[in-house]
């Protein structure tokens, strides 16, 4: 299914003078309200075209607007300059640079420009390496093709060759280059997660998901172990097995270990991802409308698998374990039914009120297993609740967890990684909604605060460890194309999870 794992376009850095850059066109970010002299030499090279366009308001620097000018100056090797609107300077940072780069990447790719330069302005605030990393990630995100099963009328647009031009000379180019190397890995790994999310459930079964995830992470030195249904049964994972009962496809538990010799024994970051390769809802079946989207219900598991790859490639300084419970949620003849009681690997019992609340079930066993592997800090990622989409829409992932310092830490890392997240409360009073007459608790808590009660369910399996939960139900799949990201799978959380392994795990 996967032809090659690494698909990133070529990106290099240079600090050479602007006239000598040998590209077909040079992209230059431009802020709102800037005059033609904002970047020296450009207007002269355009023979006054830039001044004219700004004067006439044909181009104003509004985010994602483009203005193309030919280069009149024959001492330049680039034949065209393209100003790309960067919006307001005051709010521009690594996050906007990443988005701008994706817009630029899509523009260049759609026009089949072979060689594009990206001008890294010296007067943009922030660390050069960090900016170059974000730009690289953005350019690579533009190079994702979602149409792999099309047999005709499908132009596979090649990615341009990119040159990042550091305006400050060789020193800046070297600093930028460190960011490019990092950005390339994180961009590639995000695209791999998008590829997995895009894959239909008839090809990406739980077994195939395990094969793919093992290839993605295993290639880089992560130890990968795939447990089959018998091993899962021996571990007593009644929640994962319960969900898997309705399907003819057996479940898998995908386990990753990154334990480099130079890493101290603790902390151990534990990443857990929801790996439902298709969610019909089970006996509490979903309506037909939009159900095809539920092939992406393994986006959290894809994020964990692909983050593990990045973590190993970039040689994170700490130990990391990953756990992805993978199964279909189907309404087969042996499927669990509302009212059934399941026993988790941790020993706690659950009354299944709604078989469509399956993500929290498999994650309960997954979180428990991450603890058995020695995790000291937990983060789980899941397309968990429609209620989270109601609360935060499709822009922002819900962030839950405990204690507040750990949640805040994850929030900051996500911010830097370009994954929009926002904290949601886990007040104890909400727990009442999960009361069951027959078992320790129920798997649903009714409509009010649906994303919060789902998170509270998960908290029953975290053993009191620092734990953060990302509900990516709204953000894993873009329904509409944005200038800065095409529609389809987003690869959300890959970079956040990977970057976490490079931070000091406080608390």
Residue appearing with tokens 């734990």: 467
Binding positions for Zn ion, 290-319, rule CB under 5 A: 297
Structure tokens at 194: 């998008």
Site string for ligand BES, 446-485 (x = CB under 6 A): ----x----------------------x------------
Strand ranges, E, within 22-124: 25-31, 66-70, 80-87, 115-120
Nearest one of 70, 58, 57, 65 to 84, comparing CA atoms:
65
Site string for ligand BES, 279-318 (x = CB under 6 A): x-----------------x---------------------
Helices 359-372 and 450-459, interaxial angle, to 10°?
30
Structure tokens at 348: 């706690």
Structure tokens at 394: 């499709």
286, 394, 411, 431: the catalytic one is 286
- At closest approach, how far in Å is the CB of 284 from Zn ion? 11
C-beta of 318 vs 389, nearer to ligand BES: 389
C-beta of 208 vs 358, nearer to Mn ion: 358
> 161 - beta bridge partners?
115
Summary count for the chain: helices (H), strands (E):
14, 20
Site string for Zn ion, 246-285 (x = CB under 5 A): ------------------------------x--x------
CA-based torsion, 479, 484, 485, 491: positive or negative: negative
C-beta of residue 100 within 8 angstroms of C-beta of residue 138? yes
Distance of CA 444 to the CA centre of its chain: 27
Number of residues in contact with ligand BES under rule CB under 6 A = 16
Whose CB is nearest to Mn ion?
Answer: 356
C-beta of 216 vs 276, nearer to Zn ion: 276
CA distance 56 to 469: 50
By CB under 6 A, is residue 397 in contact with ligand BES? no
109, 182, 360, 495: the catalytic one is 360
Binding positions for Mn ion, 237-296, rule CB under 5 A: 279
Strand ranges, E, within 354-420: 377-382, 397-402
CA distance 15 to 381: 40
Known catalytic membership, residue 435 = no
- At closest approach, how far in Å is the CB of 377 from ligand BES? 25
Structure tokens at 393: 């829409």
C-beta of 161 vs 354, nearer to Mn ion: 354
Binding positions for Zn ion, 333-372, rule CB under 5 A: 359
Sorted by sequence, the CB contacts under 8 Å of residue 3 that are 6+ apart come out as: none
Three-state DSSP class for residue 487:
coil
CA-based torsion, 368, 463, 239, 384: positive or negative: negative
C-beta of 79 vs 447, nearer to ligand BES: 447
Instruction: Mark the segment that binds Mn ion (CB under 5 A) among 97-105, 121-129, 179-187, 352-360.
Output: 352-360
By CB under 6 A, is residue 386 in contact with ligand BES? yes
C-beta of 232 vs 384, nearer to ligand BES: 384
In the list Zn ion, Mn ion, ligand BES, none, the entry touching 471 (Cβ below 5 to 8 angstroms by class) is none
Known catalytic membership, residue 360 = yes
- At closest approach, how far in Å is the CB of 331 from ligand BES? 13
C-beta of 65 vs 279, nearer to Zn ion: 279
Sorted by sequence, the CB contacts under 8 Å of residue 504 that are 6+ apart come out as: none
Out of 283, 387, 407, 493, point to the residue binding ligand BES (CB under 6 A): 387
CA distance 189 to 175: 22
Cis before 87? omega within 30? no
C-beta of residue 6 within 8 angstroms of C-beta of residue 97? no
- At closest approach, how far in Å is the CB of 356 from ligand BES? 4
C-beta of 50 vs 492, nearer to ligand BES: 492
- At closest approach, how far in Å is the CB of 291 from ligand BES? 10
Out of 46, 177, 280, 385, point to the residue binding ligand BES (CB under 6 A): 385
Out of 145, 296, 328, 356, point to the residue binding Mn ion (CB under 5 A): 356
CA distance 131 to 87: 16
CA-based torsion, 417, 397, 148, 24: positive or negative: negative
C-beta atoms surrounding 154 within 10 Å? 11
In the list Mn ion, Zn ion, ligand BES, none, the entry touching 313 (Cβ below 5 to 8 angstroms by class) is none
CA distance 375 to 233: 22
Nearest one of 473, 496, 476 to 488, comparing CA atoms:
476
- At closest approach, how far in Å is the CB of 498 from Mn ion? 27
Nearest one of 118, 50, 110 to 78, comparing CA atoms:
118
Three-state DSSP class for residue 373:
coil
In the list Mn ion, Zn ion, ligand BES, none, the entry touching 450 (Cβ below 5 to 8 angstroms by class) is ligand BES
Out of 354, 376, 396, 503, point to the residue binding ligand BES (CB under 6 A): 354
Site string for Mn ion, 357-376 (x = CB under 5 A): -x------------------
By CB under 5 A, is residue 328 in contact with Zn ion? no
Q: Which residues bind ligand BES (CB under 6 A)?
A: 279, 297, 354, 356-359, 383-387, 389, 444, 450, 473
Q: Which residues bind Mn ion (CB under 5 A)?
A: 279, 356, 358
The residues that are catalytic are 286, 360
Q: Which residues bind Zn ion (CB under 5 A)?
A: 276, 279, 297, 359
């Amino acid at each position: 299914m996967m032809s090659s794992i690494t698909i990133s376009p070529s990106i290099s850095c240079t600090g050479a003078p602007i006239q000598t850059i040998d590209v077909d066109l040079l992209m230059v970010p431009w802020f709102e309200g800037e005059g033609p002299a904002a970047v020296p030499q450009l207007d002269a090279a355009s023979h006054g075209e830039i001044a004219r366009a700004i004067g006439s308001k044909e181009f104003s620097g509004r985010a994602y607007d483009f203005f193309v000018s030919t280069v009149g100056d024959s001492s330049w090797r680039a034949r065209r300059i393209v100003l790309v609107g960067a919006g307001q300077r005051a709010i521009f940072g690594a996050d906007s640079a990443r988005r701008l780069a994706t817009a630029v990447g899509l523009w260049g790719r759609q026009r089949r420009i072979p060689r594009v330069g990206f001008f890294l302005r010296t007067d943009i605030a922030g660390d050069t390496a960090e900016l170059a990393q974000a730009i690289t990630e953005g350019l690579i995100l533009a190079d994702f093709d979602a149409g792999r099963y099309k047999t005709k009328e499908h132009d596979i647009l090649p990615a341009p060759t990119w040159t990042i031009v550091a305006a400050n000379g060789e020193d800046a180019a070297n600093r930028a280059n460190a960011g490019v190397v990092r950005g390339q890995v994180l961009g590639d790994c995000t695209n791999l997660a998008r590829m997995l999310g895009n894959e239909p459930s008839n090809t990406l079964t739980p077994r195939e998901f395990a094969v793919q995830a093992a290839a993605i992470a295993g290639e880089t030195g992560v130890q990968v172990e795939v447990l089959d249904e018998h091993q899962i049964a021996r571990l007593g994972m009644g929640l994962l097995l319960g969900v898997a009962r309705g399907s003819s496809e057996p479940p898998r538990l995908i386990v990753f270990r990154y334990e480099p010799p130079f890493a101290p024994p603790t902390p151990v970051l534990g990443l857990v991802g929801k790996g439902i390769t298709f969610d019909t809802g089970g006996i509490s079946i979903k309506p037909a409308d939009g159900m095809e989207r539920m092939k992406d219900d393994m986006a959290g598991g894809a994020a964990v698998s692909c983050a593990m790859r990045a973590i190993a490639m970039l040689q994170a300084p700490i130990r990391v374990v990953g756990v992805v419970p993978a199964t279909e949620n189907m309404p087969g003849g042996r499927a669990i039914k509302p009212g059934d009681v399941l026993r988790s690997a941790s020993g706690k019992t659950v009354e299944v009120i709604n078989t469509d609340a399956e993500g929290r079930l498999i994650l309960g066993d997954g979180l428990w297993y991450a603890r058995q592997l020695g995790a000291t800090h937990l983060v789980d990622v899941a397309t968990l609740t429609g209620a989270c989409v109601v609360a935060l829409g499709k822009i922002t992932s819900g962030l839950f967890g405990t204690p507040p310092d750990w949640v805040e830490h994850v929030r900051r890392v996500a911010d830097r990684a370009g994954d929009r997240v926002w904290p949601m409360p886990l007040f104890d009073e909400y727990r009442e909604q999960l009361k069951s007459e027959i078992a320790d608790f129920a798997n649903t808590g009714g409509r009010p605060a649906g994303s919060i009660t789902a998170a509270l369910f998960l908290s029953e399996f975290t053993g009191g460890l620092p734990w953060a939960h990302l509900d990516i139900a709204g953000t894993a799949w873009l329904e509409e194309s944005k200038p800065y990201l095409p529609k389809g799978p987003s690869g959300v959380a890959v970079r956040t999870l990977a970057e976490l392994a490079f931070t000091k795990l406080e608390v």
